[in-house]
Amino acid sequence: MSIPFSPPRIDQKIIDEVVNAMKSGWITTGPKTKLFEKELAEYTGVPAVLCLNSATAGLELALRWFGVQEGDEVILPAYTYCATANVVVHCGAKPVFVDINADDFNISVSEIAKHITTKTKVIMPVDFGGMPCDYDAINALVNAHRVKDKFVPRNEIQHSLGRIMVLSDAAHSIGGKYQNNKVGGLADLSVISFHAVKNLTTAEGGAMCFNLPTPFDNHKVYNDLVIKSLHGQNKDALAKVKPGAWKYDIVEPGYKYNMTDILASIGLVELARYDNDTLPKRKYVCDRYSKLLKEYSWAQLPIFEDIKRESSYHLYPLRIVEITEKQRDGIIAMIAEAEIAVNVHFIPLPMMSFYKQQGYDISDYVVSYDNYSREISLPVFYDLNDRQIEEVVNVLIDSVERVVNKVSI
């Protein structure tokens, strides 16, 4: 039996809603996108949400809005997808990679503290696998007097905030909770991904959640970013299509980052069933894996819950104790022979050619490398059934035992 890693859940309900959107006479950004934004704001508990064509677009838009540019530094974990760092490079700023916690794979707050300089403008925590970062500690850090005193604002927006901005890469973590607050309202701005492999998908898409403190008016910032995400045009396509309303202005050279109503129609179905159907199923799959694996001393199980937090169960990041990167690769090759798709989250960015050429060195990120070298992400998706879960576990056990034994002979 062949088991994929994370296929999207495409059922008749999704197909019907996409067809409805296509027949509605309005396929690009319009009423469905606006409704999806409203429902996401209600779901995450923030004043406003802006839908975009990807999380990457949202992260870049946030950095551009804050005026991040050449000479600035942005702190982020070495252990993330390239999107988090690439957008910093696009702005001409310097990504400052820091190491992660061994237990939850999230950015280490003490490492952040060590790397703050007068050039630091933004911290981008990544909620790895759906587990929220330690936002109380991160928010306390950026608000500490000694850290605020170091902050050098370059523009009016940075002046108004008066400190380093916390921009959460919440690509994995919609539905995750921290101290009874939902992801979206944990940082100044949070960006969710709706890419095809993510928990809640629109095929491609993203959303920015606004949670800026006073004196900011989150609705006004939302309006400014609607314009910035659509060429700096002061009227969107729907407003322009009204008879006689053809005139518009370009107030800045903006981007082309808008979400379409066809994709929003998928998101609306997904969001409506997310808490009572999608999340419980993902939790069930993760719990099942843990139950089947916990008796094996080589299996280092991921954490999904603690006193402060609960994950969105985006990944099942298993680690195998005391193996090398080569052995891990060998285990994955054996699992692949059984037609089961597993993955590694993530190859740390200092190991990627581009970032290596920029001078980053993986030997500076000991925990990141250790976690990477022993990590195997198991399949987690809505339609994964008990028989398939057992098959994954059996093939995994067999592969680990074969690889580990072969080396010890």
- Which residues in this chain contact ligand PLP in the complex, by CB under 6 A? 54-56, 80-81, 83-84, 126, 169, 171-172, 193, 195, 206
**Do the strands 73-77 and 120-123 form a parallel or antiparallel pair, or are they unpaired?**
parallel
| Residue 77 or 330 with smaller CB distance to ligand PLP | 77
Rounded least distance, CB 131 to ligand PLP, Å: 12
| Residue 147 or 352 with smaller CB distance to ligand PLP | 352
Tokens representing 260? 């379409």
Q: Which listed residue (32, 121, 182, 198) is catalytic?
A: 198
Provide the strand spans (E) within 220-296. none
The whole-angstrom separation of Cα 247 and Cα 245 is 6
| Residue 166 or 389 with smaller CB distance to ligand PLP | 166
Rounded least distance, CB 304 to ligand PLP, Å: 17
Indicate if 198 belongs to the active site.
Answer: yes
The whole-angstrom separation of Cα 309 and Cα 313 is 12
Task: Find residue 237's DSSP bridge partners.
Answer: none
Task: Find residue 230's DSSP bridge partners.
Answer: 256
| Residue 83 or 209 with smaller CB distance to ligand PLP | 83
Do 206 and 53 meet the contact criterion of CB atoms below 8 Å apart? Answer: yes
Rounded least distance, CB 257 to ligand PLP, Å: 10
Separation in Å, CA 210 to CA 50, 241, 243, 289: 8, 28, 33, 35
Write down the residue that tokens 């022993």 correspond to.
Answer: 374
Task: Find residue 299's DSSP bridge partners.
Answer: 320
Any idea of the CA torsion for 276, 282, 286, 288, to the nearest 10 degrees? 70
| Residue 57 or 403 with smaller CB distance to ligand PLP | 57
3 state SS of 167: strand
Rounded least distance, CB 83 to ligand PLP, Å: 4
Do 316 and 300 meet the contact criterion of CB atoms below 8 Å apart? Answer: no
- The C-alpha angle 367, 194, 224, rounded to 5 degrees, equals 100
Do 399 and 331 meet the contact criterion of CB atoms below 8 Å apart? Answer: yes
Cis, peptide link before residue 151, omega less than 30° from 0? no
| Residue 130 or 185 with smaller CB distance to ligand PLP | 130
The whole-angstrom separation of Cα 325 and Cα 44 is 38
Rounded least distance, CB 145 to ligand PLP, Å: 32
Separation in Å, CA 387 to CA 82, 206, 391: 34, 33, 6
Q: Measuring CA to CA, which residue among 158, 137, 132 is closest to residue 68?
A: 158
Rounded least distance, CB 172 to ligand PLP, Å: 6
| Residue 173 or 327 with smaller CB distance to ligand PLP | 173
| Residue 84 or 373 with smaller CB distance to ligand PLP | 84
- The 8-class DSSP code of residue 274 comes to I
Rounded least distance, CB 54 to ligand PLP, Å: 3
List Cβ neighbours of 115 (8 Å cut-off, separation of 6 or more): 75, 96, 98
The whole-angstrom separation of Cα 265 and Cα 17 is 6
Active site residues: 198
